[in-house]
A and B are shown apart, each in its own frame.
Chain A
Amino acid sequence: MNLEFFILGGYGQFVWPAFVFSFVSCTVLFIKAKKELKIQEKVYLTEYAEPLTIKIETAGEKKIIKKVLSGNTI
């Protein structure tokens, strides 16, 4: 691999840490945010489970009912 890509005309020691620091900071924030969302979703669903899941289930049930009805008419 071309060594000049890493050395960057002698400025590699400044450029790479800048990019790496930015990447690491953003990744840490992303992981922390995702982790916290997962925890809160889990708490909500285990202790007060109701909204989203039930809505999806009822929508699914309606679809099934429709299918059955159309099958009967044929």
Chain B
Amino acid sequence: MLKSLFPNKILSLTNAKINVLVAFLIAVLIIGLLYSLIISPADYIQGDSVRIMYVHVPASFIALVCFGLIGVASICNLVFKIKFMPLLAKSLAPIGCTFTLISIVTGSLWGKPTWGTWWVWDARLTSMLVLLIFYITYILTWKVIDNFEKANKISSIIGILGSFNLPVIKYSVDWWNTLHQPSSITLTSMPTIHHTMLIPLVIMFLGMIMYSVIIFLIRYKTEVIKLKINKKKNFK
């Protein structure tokens, strides 16, 4: 699977292939939205505000996974000097940054009717804000620093440092007293959500993961082409 991410392989990704993926994505999202906004029932305590969960939870999950992957890619880059790792990490950053922003904004919109406030400086919310700052710093490093090697080193260090924030985000609800509820879905146990809400949540998860994969492929191809252009420029 890793072989298909080799820079030369990604160049064979045509616009037609991307369009097919987008068509699949639109179909999944339409089904997901129908379920989330119409078919799924309102919560007996939170009422219809629970529907925000269908965008908030997948967005938060993708935000964490993206930075986790950036962390792994940064380690592989610094330790094993795998050349295409910075390109992978660089392509993932805008996706993670967007989903972190979505997570914070939708969380805030969910917090107002549920907790009575848009924002509190509790552990989960603050650690998510820290994640957003790490994402922005990571992206800015690549934008501001022209020298590839220098930007690569600094961004890798940011990637590794930011990874330490991930367990803090995950376990913040267990370690501290927070307004945020503990996880309803974990990888190790059965979900406590009723199936009428779990189905739309899973569909929205699939949709957002598909979206992330599409954006990643587009951005990764862009980065590979950029690198090729720079190499040719330097060769000239």
Contact = CB atoms under 8 A, between A and B. Distances in A.
Contact of B52 (A5, A10, A14): A14
Contacts of A11: 47-49, 51, 113
Interface in B193-229: 211, 214-215, 218-219, 221-222, 225-226, 228-229
Contact of A14 (B12, B113, B232): B113
A43 B229 contact: yes
A37 B218 contact: yes
Query: What does DSSP make chain A's interface, helix, strand, loop or mixed?
Result: helix
Interface stretch (B80-88, B100-108, B141-149): B100-108
Interface residues of B, number: 37
B159 interface: no
A14 to B, nearest CB: 5
B42 interface: yes
Interface residues of A, number: 29
A33 B51 CA distance: 29
Interface in A46-67: 47-48, 51-52
A7 B46 CA distance: 15
Interface string A10-51: 111011011101100110011001101100110110011001
A9 B59 contact: no
B106 A18 contact: yes
Contacts of A22: 55, 59, 102, 106
23 contacts: A5-B38, A9-B42, A10-B47, A10-B48, A11-B113, A14-B110, A15-B37, A18-B110, A19-B37, A21-B106, A22-B102, A22-B106, A25-B101, A30-B214, A33-B219, A36-B222, A37-B218, A40-B226, A40-B229, A44-B225, A44-B228, A44-B229, A48-B232
Interface of B: 11-12, 33, 37-38, 42, 47-49, 51-52, 55-56, 59, 94-95, 98, 101-102, 105-106, 109-110, 112-113, 211, 214-215, 218-219, 221-222, 225-226, 228-229, 232
